[in-house]
Amino acid sequence: MTEIFEFFFKYRPLVYQKGAFAFQAPWPAALTWVLLAAAIVLSWLLYRQTAAVFTPRWRALFLLLRAVPLLLLIFIFLQPVLLLKSVIPQKGHVAIAYDVSKSMEIEDGPGGESRLDQVRNLLTPGMHPFLDELGRKFQLRFFRFSGQAERVAGFEDLPRRGNITSIEQVLNRVAEEMSDVSLAGIVLVTDGADNRSTGLAAAAARLRAANTPVYPVGVGAGSLPRDAEILRVTGPRKVLKDSLIEADVTIRSRGYAGRKARLQVLAGSRPLQSTEITLGSDGEVKTHKVHFTGDAAGARIFTFRLDPLGGEVVTQNNENNMLVRIEDEQPAILYVEGEPRWVYAFIRRAAEEDRNLQLTTLLRQADGKFLRQGVEDASVLAKGFPLEKAELFRYKAIIVGSVEASFFSFDQMRLISDFVSRRGGGFLMLGGRNSFGQGGYLNTPLEDVLPVNLRDAGGTGNAGWRELEYKVRLGSYGKVHPVTRLSMDEDENAKRWGSAPALVGINPTAGVKPGATVLLEGILPDAQGTGPAVLAFQRYGRGRAMALLTGSTWRWRMEQDHRDNFHELFWRQMLRWLVNEVPDALALETERHSYSLEETVLLRAEANDASFIPLNNAQVNARVKSPSGQIAGVPLSWSVEREGIYQGRFKPLEDGIHEVSVDFDFGSRSLGTARTTFRVAESGEEFRDAAQNTRLLSQLAGDTGGRYYTLAQARHLPEDISYVESGVAQVETRDLWDMPAVFILIAAAVSAEWILRKRKGLA
Amino acid sequence: MLLFFVHALAQRRRPPVPLPEPDAFSGTMDDGKSEFTFVRSVHTGLGPWAYYKGWYTDWPKADRQFILGIQRLTNIGVAERGKAIPLTDPAIFQYPFVYAVEVGHLNLTDPEAAALGEYLRRGGFLFCDDFWGTWEWENFRQNIERVLPGKKIVDLDLTHPIFHCYYDIGEIIQVPNVGAALYERNTHEQDGIVPHCRGIFDDTGRLMVVINWNTDLGDAWEWADLPGFPARYSTYAYQMGINAIIYAMSH
């Protein structure tokens, strides 16, 4: 469109926007009016005698066609011009910032040219008029950037390209470095694949305030026609050894709608899991759940790889990583049961065979008579169910069996509620004659915690325990949830659940609460549509609460072959799910699990006492052990924003897995230590979401008063940027008399008149 | 030679004794949905003494009286009526605790041995009672060896949790049959002078078989209501039985 405008009107619209219209006629203005009047009168006189032949309308048309060329000739002789204020050559400065991040390696240019090659052509003197023209008008300063920006003499490539891109960083750096000179603008040559800026809008506002427009020159294709990429992988940062790890793999694809692709999980080079997925329609983002087991303790990197598909421009984004810390520890679980039940014994047996679980149980055998099992010493649970926060909060999960609500005091139930919501613990209530609504939990603090509604339509929740036999089926999320995933293969998993022995007895509820997830539902003979939930969970505050509305899962053990580990696997996965991701009183984490060398790692520690009351005046010191064995100390200071949170920054100097430990001291007392791990590596992050982000670049240009250019349009940039509205400038005059539109209009009017005269018999 | 002949005759496997029918004694069968049902094993015994020493010894009164004791003394949701289930009946897997009596006269068929072995490996618990002397022990040992090949039978130490998980039992008592108990005759039968409580553990250390040898707990359950029956015996029998159930339901 711009080109068409330029063809007819000699200059691009921007020149008209920037310039002021004027006539530079060689005669006085009065003469102009005389000439105009004469042209009109002359036209009238020429057609005066034809009045008898034509209707007045035709005569007016002929008159107009005769007058237009005359008027345009007068317009030409008036010497119309555009007056433009432009910078005085070499008086101002322009910063050219170009992107050397990894995404610039993508070869999506004409003839398979890489983005960086295109930038090289643009910014190498003598190769493109852009740089020469800009250099004539301004003094140029070059900046090279990826995650960080650095001043350079001109276009200089890097042997190791940046793993990240931060446009915010480069804009701030340029503004800071060029603050003492007259900066006409910043030319930003990039694909806009920014993956680190957090305050770009603020940076743009500052530049606008400083009257420094940004002129982005976009490099790279606006969309990759055929590409499948693993956008991200999310999963637990920490799991127990031998636990089933669930990862959400988010994949976006274009040009492969409905195609099958193989997604692999690898531990190093060892394949762990392979699954076939169906790619979504163009641009669709789909999340696939992948399960695998981390067997060896320590920091483990799991690689997720999508086999390359034919015709992909970028294959580097087919891979993504996840770092998981596999802990060989024994989180404590407290199980309180109100009566001897088989489920109690069978859960204990399943847990005992798992050396990464420590199950402490309290069984009421008769009124006032309790059996404690799995206690470390005689003092544990000596007074029954804990009365104090510090005693209860040392557990990471609580299981409440068939024990009526009146067994607990109101304060104890509040403790359990706080245990889930504030401490972030796991909670499970088992079905039975004395649990859920049947155990009187209506109107207690635990009613809110549970993922099922105890209150029926009548608001009473009085429905009795139902002692019937029924089978279960997986809910939609149950097919992939780590508790109910008993086989890596989805079909095999469904088959195992399909053949699971029947359960006996269920606690009727009024359905699951909004936001709760059903993993198992009962196939009851009298149920219509979907059956009642048998296993469901919900998040509650910082923690998670699960409801298993039966106490007969031991039948899955007794009624299946002794070699079938269905029951054991279910319960171990259940117990591990309850404790996985439950925070410790002293915790340490980093924002992400993987960094590049250009980045600074933010260490974030949380200090609580045994009752999970935040400690704000602890001394918190981190030690970062690099892969080469060097240890760096990092003091962490209290972040005023949140109670008990301490932060510190560390700049890594080498690639590899870094081990961090933090010592917490309170006065002269040592509170303990927390550990975490992060990885420093070249990442494929730059290749994800790597199409040119024209939206971001246009927005940036708009916000700063600049203009977005494609590479092809970049040749206009030197001219556009040279026009200013204020400041020290020179006035430039651009002739308009010779614009093609004028001559085309004259020719059109004369031709039209001639044709019409011919048809009317006047010629 | 005669002894050898008699012994060989005794070791011959016979089909389960057809009388009496279990259901005829248990009346309305329990619905199987109570938390705990007292189940008695129906198994093949030796002849020609099968009618005298079979799976049904002391049944059903012993079971009913013991069930009343469980109801009275514990929190267990126990079915009011017990059950007698053949070892080869798949229904036995719905009841993880089974009581077997007169196990000195076991003559398990191969399917029975295989079913009992599978039952125990899945997590079932076998409580054996009322057999006496060397000969019966040897017969029991041979049968249980077929059930759990290679598993060792060990004497349970009094510090074992089964003696303390509900009642604290400090002594293994020889409970005599009702006649001996009432008339204060010798408490032993045959050459079973010393009572033993032995056990078999699974690979994880769980006690899955408890063997009460040279003692008769079932008679004490059966005759506990008899005014003259010594409380010392019935108390021990109830305590040992309840401890076994609590142990099975908590370990």
pLDDT at B11: 46
Query: Are B74 and B100 spatial neighbours (Cβ–Cβ below 8 Å)?
Result: no
Q: What is the mean pLDDT of chain A?
A: 90
Between residues A396 and A721, which one has the greater pLDDT?
A396
Q: Which helix (H) or strand (E) holds A741?
A: helix A740-759
pLDDT > 60? residue B15: no
As given in the structure block, the two tokens for residue A728 are: 């020290």
Ramachandran angles phi, psi of A521, nearest 5°: -125, 150
pLDDT at A450: 97
DSSP annotation string for A612-681: --B-SS-EEEEEEE-TTS-EEEEEEEE-TTSTTEEEEEE---SSEEEEEEEEEEETTEEEEEEEEEEEE-
In chain A, positions 461-490, which contact chain B (CB-CB < 8 Å)?
A: 467, 469
pLDDT at A597: 87
DSSP B56: T
Q: State yes or no: cis peptide before B60, omega within 30 of 0.
A: yes
Query: Are A716 and A710 spatial neighbours (Cβ–Cβ below 8 Å)?
Result: no
* pLDDT-wise least confident of A44-58, A517-531, A581-595, A607-621: A44-58
Nearest to B200 by CA among B240, B134, B149: B149
pLDDT > 80? residue B50: no
pLDDT at A278: 92
Beta-carbon neighbour count of residue A3 at 10 Å? 7
As given in the structure block, the two tokens for residue A477 are: 């999320």
Q: Which residue of B has its CA nearest to A338?
A: B75
In chain B, positions 28-67, which contact chain A (CB-CB < 8 Å)?
A: 31-33, 35-36
* Chain A partners within 8 Å of B32 (Cβ): 504
**Per-residue pLDDT reduced to its tens digit, A594-624:** 898 888 999 999 999 999 999 999 999 999 9
Mean pLDDT, residues A43-58 taken together: 72
Query: Are A660 and A588 spatial neighbours (Cβ–Cβ below 8 Å)?
Result: yes
Q: Which helix (H) or strand (E) holds A298?
A: strand A298-306
* pLDDT-wise least confident of A574-588, A726-740, A745-759: A726-740
Sheet containing A149-152: order of strands: A149-152, A138-145, A92-99, A183-190, A214-218, A709-710
Nearest to A87 by CA among A18, A134, A137, A130: A137
Nearest to B57 by CA among B115, B93, B49, B81: B49
As given in the structure block, the two tokens for residue A304 are: 């997720």
Contact with chain B for residue A339, Cβ under 8 A = yes
Residues 6+ positions from A457 with CB-CB distance below 8 Å? A510
Q: Which residue of A has its CA nearest to B34?
A: A467
pLDDT > 90? residue A458: no
CA A390 from centre of chain: 38
Beta-carbon neighbour count of residue A42 at 10 Å? 12
Distance CA(A627)–CA(A207), nearest Å, equals 41
pLDDT at A551: 96
**Per-residue pLDDT reduced to its tens digit, B70-97:** 999 998 999 999 999 999 999 999 999 9
Ramachandran angles phi, psi of A105, nearest 5°: -80, -10
Q: State yes or no: cis peptide before A236, omega within 30 of 0.
A: no
Helix, strand, or coil (residue A455): coil
Contact with chain A for residue B185, Cβ under 8 A = no
In chain A, positions 368-427, which contact chain B (CB-CB < 8 Å)?
A: 369, 371, 373
Sign of the CA dihedral running A565, A570, A572, A576: positive
Q: Which residue has the tokens 């309850």?
A: A578
B213: β partners? B196
Query: Are A649 and A634 spatial neighbours (Cβ–Cβ below 8 Å)?
Result: yes
Mean pLDDT, residues A7-31 taken together: 85
Distance CA(B215)–CA(B104), nearest Å, equals 12
Distance CA(A39)–CA(A70), nearest Å, equals 6
In A447-582, the DSSP E strands lie at 466-474, 503-506, 517-523, 533-540, 543-548
Residues 6+ positions from A262 with CB-CB distance below 8 Å? A274, A275, A276, A277, A306, A307
Mean pLDDT, residues B220-229 taken together: 93
- β pairing state of A586-590 and A619-625: unpaired
Nearest to B250 among A338, A363, A557 (CB): A363
The whole-model pTM stands at 0.77
Pairs across A and B, CB distance < 8 A: 85
State the nearest Cα–Cα gap between A601 and chain B, in angstroms. 46
CA A39 from centre of chain: 68
Contact with chain B for residue A505, Cβ under 8 A = yes
**Per-residue pLDDT reduced to its tens digit, A157-205:** 777 778 889 999 999 999 999 888 888 899 999 999 888 888 999 999 9
Residues 6+ positions from A730 with CB-CB distance below 8 Å? A85, A86, A87, A88
Distance CA(A202)–CA(A616), nearest Å, equals 31
pLDDT at B9: 47
Helix, strand, or coil (residue A716): helix
% of chain A beyond a pLDDT of 90: 57
The burial class, CB within 10 Å (0-12 / 13-18 / 19+), for A731 is: exposed
pLDDT at A588: 94
Helix ranges, B83-226 (H):
110-122, 133-147, 178-183, 217-222
DSSP annotation string for A49-67: GGGGTS-HHHHHHHHHHHH
pLDDT at A303: 93
pLDDT at B33: 62
Between residues B20 and B156, which one has the greater pLDDT?
B156
pLDDT at B22: 47
Sign of the CA dihedral running A373, A377, A382, A387: negative
Mean pLDDT, residues A331-342 taken together: 97
As given in the structure block, the two tokens for residue A220 are: 């790279």
Between residues A518 and A67, which one has the greater pLDDT?
A518
Contact with chain B for residue A572, Cβ under 8 A = no
Distance CA(A138)–CA(A215), nearest Å, equals 15
Q: Which residue of A has its CA nearest to B71?
A: A366
pLDDT at B27: 38
Contact with chain B for residue A346, Cβ under 8 A = yes
State the nearest Cα–Cα gap between B1 and chain A, in angstroms. 44
pLDDT at A52: 58
Mean pLDDT, residues A213-220 taken together: 95
Q: What is the mean pLDDT of chain B?
A: 87
Query: Are A677 and A657 spatial neighbours (Cβ–Cβ below 8 Å)?
Result: yes
Contact with chain A for residue B158, Cβ under 8 A = no
**Per-residue pLDDT reduced to its tens digit, B129-144:** 999 999 999 999 999 9
Give, to the nearest 10 degrees, the angle between helix A167-177 and helix A200-209.
Answer: 30
Mean pLDDT, residues B64-70 taken together: 95
* pLDDT-wise least confident of A24-38, A311-325, A441-455: A24-38
B212: β partners? B197
Q: Which residue of B has its CA nearest to A505?
A: B33
In angstroms, the Cα distances linking B3 to A113, B9, B111, B131, B143 are 102, 10, 29, 20, 20
pLDDT at B14: 45
Residues 6+ positions from B121 with CB-CB distance below 8 Å? A562, B202
Between residues A732 and A536, which one has the greater pLDDT?
A536
Q: Which residue has the tokens 């039978």?
A: B153
pLDDT at A728: 63
Distance CA(A255)–CA(B218), nearest Å, equals 78
In angstroms, the Cα distances linking A447 to A436, A450, A540, B36, B106 are 8, 6, 12, 29, 53
Give, to the nearest 10 degrees, the angle between helix A740-759 and helix A56-77.
Answer: 150
The residue length of chain B stands at 251
pLDDT > 50? residue B24: no
DSSP B175: P
Contact with chain A for residue B121, Cβ under 8 A = yes
Ramachandran angles phi, psi of A746, nearest 5°: -60, -50
Q: Do A346 and B73 touch (CB under 8 A)?
A: no
Interface probe for A, chosen from B75, B239, B243 (most Cβ of A below 10 Å), is B75
Q: Do B75 and A554 touch (CB under 8 A)?
A: no
pLDDT at B47: 66
The residue length of chain A stands at 763
**Per-residue pLDDT reduced to its tens digit, B3-14:** 444 444 444 444
pLDDT at B23: 47
Nearest to B242 by CA among B157, B169, B159: B169
Give, to the nearest 10 degrees, the angle between helix A200-209 and helix A694-704.
Answer: 30
Contact with chain A for residue B93, Cβ under 8 A = yes
Query: Are A484 and A570 spatial neighbours (Cβ–Cβ below 8 Å)?
Result: yes
Q: Which helix (H) or strand (E) holds B70?
A: helix B61-73
Ramachandran angles phi, psi of A466, nearest 5°: -100, 120
